[in-house]
Amino acid sequence: MLSWLILKPLAVVALLIGAVTLPTPLPIGAPLIAVSLAVLVATSSTARAWLRAARHRYGPVDDFLSRVETRLGRRYGTHLKRTRPFWKRAGRRKSVS
């Protein structure tokens, strides 16, 4: 109940604010996006599936989130680690096709 009423709307607002402030010289956009994605992934299975697909499709997104996973702490970093692409979790290299 708490996640649906409070956490998800706040995470979506933080994601939008982070997206707007990303191109500005203030260094707040990227951390705000990372934290809001971590909260959304922790509370929504749809967000987990979407983020896993985005990480598989876009290498820079995966690289950014891989760096952020360790800095978010155990609670939210674990949720982001669960969205790693399957080839990365298995410890194999991505096949080039």
Span 52-80, pLDDT tens digits:
898 888 888 888 888 888 887 887 788 88
In a domain, 32, yes or no: yes
Q: pLDDT > 70: what percent of the chain?
A: 84
In a domain, 17, yes or no: no
Whole-number pLDDT of residue 94 = 59
In a domain, 34, yes or no: yes
Give CA separation, 65 vs 20, 55, 77, 80, in Å: 19, 8, 9, 8
pLDDT category, 91, cuts 50, 70, 90? Answer: low
Which is more confident, 14 or 94? 14
The domain in which residue 75 lies consists of: 24-86
Contact yes or no for 37/65 (Cβ under 8 A): yes
Q: Residue 20 pLDDT more than 80?
A: yes
In a domain, 56, yes or no: yes
